[in-house]
Amino acid sequence: MAAVCQPRRALVEIPAPQPKIAARMRRSYLEILSARLAPSPLPRGRNATANVKRGHSLDVWSGRIEEQCEKMDEHHHDPLSKQQLVQLIRSFILVEQSQEPRILASDLKYLQEDLQLKKANVYRSIPYSRLGSNRDAHCYRKAYPHLVAFKVSCQEWGQVLLRNKEWDAVLEHTLMAWRYTSELPQWDTANHNALREQCYGILAAHSLAAFQHHHPGPNRGRELLRRLNMAQLHSQSIVPCIQELQRILRCADDSSMDTK
C-alpha cells in the first residue's frame, strides 16, 4: 500500500520583509532635548499655577539650549572643544531639573544632593583597575566632563541664589560647596587641579557679593567667621571674604559702642 504524503504545515508564519530605514539617519541634539522638554498635561487644582510657571521657565531654558544645539549640529563632524563641552553639560543640567530654578534653589538640601551626586560621578569615572596611578592624565581625561559638571553646578546655583537675593543661603551654599570641592581628587599634574581652584574662586566671589548686601548679626557673623577660617585651610581664595566679614563685625561693634 502506497504511503500517503501529507503536505507539511509551517509552524511559524514568516512575516513580510520590512522596508529598510534610510541610511545615515541621526537625531540631532535639538530633537532629543525637545522630546525631553515636551510639556506634560497640567493637573487641575492648587498646583496648576506652579506648573504654568514651570512650563514658562522650561521654555526659556529650551530657547537657550536650542541655540547651543544648532551651533553644535553645524560642526558635528568636529570633536567637541572644551567650551562646547561646558555648554552641552550646562544644557543637560538645566534639562534634568524638573522644577523652576527659583523653587529648587530655596531648598539647600536639594543643592547638597546635587553636589554629592556630581562628586560621586567624578569618582565613578576614574578607572581603579590600573597598574599605574589613578590620578594621572588618563584618569583625569576620564573624569574631566564630570569635573566640569561639578563646576557648572556650583556656578549656576550660586547665581540663582544671588538673583533671588537669598544672601544667607548664598553663604551656606558657598561653605557647603567648598567642602565638596575640597573632597575632589588631587591629580598628579598641577595644571589638572585648575578646575578645583576655579570652583574656589567662583564660590568666594559669590560670598563676597552676598556680603556687600547682607550684614549678619554678631552671633551669626562669628559663626560664619569661624567656618570661613576653616575653609581657608583648603584655599586662600576665601581670604577676601574673611576680611570683608571682619570689617562688617568691626563696624557693628563700633556702632554698638556709639549707642552706649
0.75 exceeded by the pTM? no
The residue assigned the cell 576665601 is 238
State which residues form the domain around 194.
97-259
Is the per-residue pLDDT at 193 higher than 50? Answer: yes
CATH of residue 203's domain is: 1.20.58.1590
Q: How far apart are CA 170 and CA 176, in angstroms?
A: 10
- Taking only the tens place, the pLDDT of each residue in 113-156 is 999 999 999 999 998 876 778 899 999 999 999 999 999 999 99
Give me the number of domains the chain comprises. 1
Q: Is 136 within a domain?
A: yes
Task: Indicate whether 89 belongs to any domain.
Answer: no
- Examine residue 221 and state whether it is found in any structural domain, yes or no: yes
List the one residue out of 168, 138, 161, 151 whose CA is nearest residue 245.
168
Residue 139 included in any domain: yes
What DSSP letter does each residue of the chain carry, written as one string?
Answer: -PPPPPPPPPSSPPPPPPPPPPTT----HHHHHHHHTPPPPPPSSTTHHHHHHHHHHHHHHHHHHHHHHHHHHHTTTSPPPHHHHHHHHHHHHHHH--S-HHHHHT-HHHHHHHHHHHHHHHHHHS----SS-TTSHHHHHHHHHHHHHHHHHHHHHHHHHHHTT-HHHHHHHHHHHHHHHHTSPPPSSGGGGHHHHHHHHHHHHHHHHHHTT----HHHHHHHHHHHHHHTTT-GGGHHHHHHHHHHHHHHHHHHHHH-
Report if residue 206 sits inside a domain. yes
pLDDT (tens digit per residue) in 21-52: 444 445 554 555 455 444 444 444 444 444 44
Domain membership flag for residue 44: no
Q: Looking at the domain assignment, is residue 59 inside a domain? A: no
188 domain residue, yes or no: yes
